[in-house]
Amino acid sequence: MDMEFEAKPLAGGIGAEVVGLDLDREIDEATARALNDVWLEYAIVLFRRIGTSNERHLRLSRVFGELEVHPVESIRLEGTPEIIRLAQKGDQNQMTYYFDGEPVVGRIPFHTDLIYTTTPNRGAILRMVERPALGGETGWIDTAEAYDALTQAQKDRIDGLEARFDFVSDLRKMRFGRTHEIEIADFGNIDYPEFPDVAHPLVWTHPISGRKSLSLSPVQLIDMVGMDRTEGDPILEELLNHTLDGRFTYLHEWEDGDMILWDNWRTMHTARGAPPGYDRVVHRTTMKGEHQTGRLI
């Protein structure tokens, strides 16, 4: 018997909420296909307050593809390596920065996961385990909607162009998308590997849906390939100002047990962080990407 659920567009028109899904039993093939159709259509999918266990989290995640194990072993959940734990609690500490003089733990500006590699992951599901009393929101941008809203002249101008990306772990080194003065307070205790620079097209074509989207990821964005920065930077600034202006953004205020699925080939996301002293624990699963979109420089 097929499992019943309803998909409703979220307020603001970006993303959808799935209502009525029962995660206490296995998800049948027809329901899995229907959930994948919702994901492909909306890119950002909310499941409210039903992520109450690791088992439920994994059951839902496996509907959307093969799960990958994160390369940073210290953040994997013991006994469940497909889930990583991101926390400001106990012995796991994320970076703390001062944004315009105010300390914030765990803030990451808008980015696309693994864009600093040639094969970004397909997507992910984030689950709120322990919500902080203050802050902790997560935001997503639908970069296909952002691309669609460009003028034809803008689309023609960027067709075939590439941008260079690098792994940037220190937000003070961001070249684009900075809206605050940033100073470091604490680098945390998570070790990150190093990656070579890669080039990605500014316009991605989704390998399943065929929809075009913008590939920007300001945290890791360095410059245009084959252009002097005096020529290339204004193009990137124009695209980022357009994409980050709020029209294509969904900002989620979490409740414990909320899960959000996103299409990493069509979105950027941001962690807003929380003030020091507020516990926040999230779990995450990641779906492998099998399509190479970039090239090593």
The pLDDT tens digits for 16-54 are 999 999 999 999 999 999 999 999 999 999 999 999 999
pLDDT at 1: 43
Residue 19 is given by DSSP the state E
pLDDT at 93: 64
HSE-CB for 205 with a 13 A CA cutoff: 4
Question: Dihedrals φ, ψ of 148, to 5°?
Answer: -60, -30
Q: What amino acid occupies position 196? A: P
Q: Which domains does the chain have, with CATH numbers?
A: 6-288 (3.60.130.10)
The pLDDT tens digits for 212-253 are 999 999 999 999 999 999 999 999 999 999 999 999 999 999
Mean pLDDT, rounded, of the chain: 93
Tell if the pTM clears 0.75, that is, is over it: yes
The pLDDT tens digits for 191-200 are 677 899 999 9
CB 54 within 8 A of CB 61: no
The pLDDT tens digits for 70-103 are 877 888 998 899 999 998 876 556 678 999 999 9
At residue 3 the predicted structure's pLDDT band, cuts being 50, 70 and 90, is low
